[in-house]
Amino acid sequence: MSWEQRIARELDDRRAASALRSRQVVGQGAGRWLSADGKRYLNFSSNDYLGLSQHPAVIAAWQKGAARFGVGSGGSGHVSGYTCAHQQLEEMLAGWLGYSRALLFISGFAANQAVIAALAGKDDRIIADRLSHASLLEAASLSPAQLRRFHHNDPLHVRTLLAKPLRGQQLVVTEGIFSMDGDSAPLADIHRVAHEAGAWLMVDDAHGIAVSGHEGRGSCDVQQVQPDLLIVTFGKGVGISGAAVLCSDMVAEYLLQFARHLIYSTSMPPAQAMALQSALEVIRSDEGQQQREKLQQHIALFRRGADALSVVMTDSASAIQPLIVGDNARALRMAGALREQGCWVTAIRPPTVPEGTARLRLTLTAAHSAEDITQLLEVLHAIGE
């Protein structure tokens, strides 16, 4: 079979399963409104949970940084791309989240891959929640370490897997808030089980940082846990992009030597680092707390109104509110019907989620109004009928 034949077969299989992914050009994709094809939609697919991508102070900080540093960093942080703006952001993150060090990465995907690739050896074991993000599971499966997946949010299964004999070290991996189900991990219980076994805990809190905890410190703050490795990303609640690894001094020095995604990638633009500092200032302020409270009100309003929907909902108290449809084609039809009524919603299908769990992944933000949530519920009820 030729390259062309193999590729054509794979694409045909995706089409037949109503699982073919596509992109659509939008004029504006973050914030309350999304524009596409000359139309405006209420946006229920953005991860910009606090609306910070549109915040005037954050935009002004990026513009000021671009005027000072230019629009690029010029190289890897190990060569010429580590500026005072990057250093200040790392120090700000470490102090805010209670760690000795923070290291910046260009994306959460890169951060997760870098940490696991640098740490995991052939005698080690990685124990990951079976619903962990693709970046975590892919890095673990490609590493020389043994990968074992534990039942979703099940600390007892973690304990069982940790008890099996092993020559090397063990790393337990989970998310703070799961990106497709919106539910929270029992971090305190998993942390206790991991440390009882002498294992390290790594938490990816992409969807918890900025939107939960005191001053937006995230899921770990809510449960009073400090994992050995904390990954925070800036493309969701922080409203921009990029990521950081929070860790000890020794681990930071190790990653600076062995984390290839860090060593061989051009660093984020200094202007972006300045915008991120501005975003963190908003997140930690009274304004940030007001936005978090507003988001929680929207979540509660949606959950109350969604009880009568003829779809399965997950146990989510987060901004991520999935409606489990099951069938791929039905999920696509429902997403299309919602867009016809002015609500932009995305259908998520396998392999992103398990077979038979195709869903509408709704995301609520502080940028929405209560009237927006009510309108979404009315459209969902009409579609259901």
Please state, in angstroms and as integers, the Cα–Cα distance from residue 230 to each residue in 101, 256, 325, 364, following that order.
Answer: 11, 16, 33, 25
Query: Which of 236, 261, 294, 298 is the catalytic position?
Result: 236
* N-to-C CA span, the chain: 48
Candidate list 48, 90, 129, 175, residue with the active-site label: 175
Clarify whether 214 is annotated catalytic. Answer: no
Pick the catalytic residue from 191, 207, 261, 298: 207
Q: Any idea what the Cα angle at residue 48 is, between residues 344 and 314, rounded to 5°? A: 70
* 43 annotated active-site: no
The phi and psi torsions of 203 (rounded to 5 degrees) equal: -120, 125
**41 beta partners:** 34
Comparing CA positions, the residue from 287, 218, 214 lying closest to residue 51 is: 287
Q: Identify the active-site residue in 47, 73, 112, 265.
A: 47
- 266 φ/ψ angles, rounded to the nearest 5 degrees: -60, 135
Q: Is the link from the previous residue into 354 a cis peptide, with omega within 30 of 0? A: no
E strand segments, 293-381: 312-313, 320-326, 343-344, 346-348, 358-363
Active site annotation includes 4 = no
Q: What is d(CA 373, CA 364) in angstroms, rounded to the nearest whole number? A: 8
What is the distance of C-alpha 61 from the center of its chain? Answer: 24
Tokens (6 digits) for 175:
């998310």
Q: 75 — phi, psi (to 5°)?
A: 170, 180
107 is catalytic: no
CA-CA distance, 256 to 102, in Å (whole number)? 11
Concerning whether 204 is annotated as a catalytic residue, the answer is: yes
- Tell me whether strands 170-175 and 125-129 are parallel, antiparallel or unpaired: parallel
112 carries an active-site annotation: no
- State the amino acid at position 71 in one-letter form: V
Annotated catalytic, 310? no
Of the residues 90, 129, 204, 228, only one is catalytic, namely 204
How many helices (DSSP H) and strands (DSSP E) are in the chain?
14, 14
From the list 153, 179, 212, 267, the catalytic residue is 179
| Catalytic (active-site) positions | 47, 133, 175, 179, 204, 207, 236
